[in-house]
Amino acid sequence: MGNFLSQFNDLVNRDADSKVPDVQLDFEDSSMTEEELESYSNVLHMLEPTADLLEMLRTYEGCGEYIRQDPFDEKKEG
């Protein structure tokens, strides 16, 4: 990741003396702190209700045909 950020030295800093520092990120051996775990649990709890909403959006078939129908069509009303 540090190498990736260093590619932007010329774009971020026009001054040749300034450099973007290398940043070392280790995703393989990372673990959450107690505070991060608590935040993660809170966010996960808040997102639980969205699962149903997302499923409704995935299965939405649209209402174009319904909108195109004549609301005053007496044949449909019987």
Could you tell me the residue ranges of all domains in the chain?
2-59
Residues of the chain with pLDDT under 70: 1-3, 5-21, 75-78
Tell me the C-alpha to C-alpha distance, in Å, between residue 23 and each of 5, 6, 9, 15. 8, 9, 13, 20
pLDDT for 17 equals 58
Q: Can you give the pTM of this predicted structure?
A: 0.39
Tell me the H-state helices in 1-78.
Answer: 2-6, 9-12, 34-47, 50-58, 64-68, 74-77
Whether 40 and 32 have beta carbons less than 8 Å apart is answered as: yes
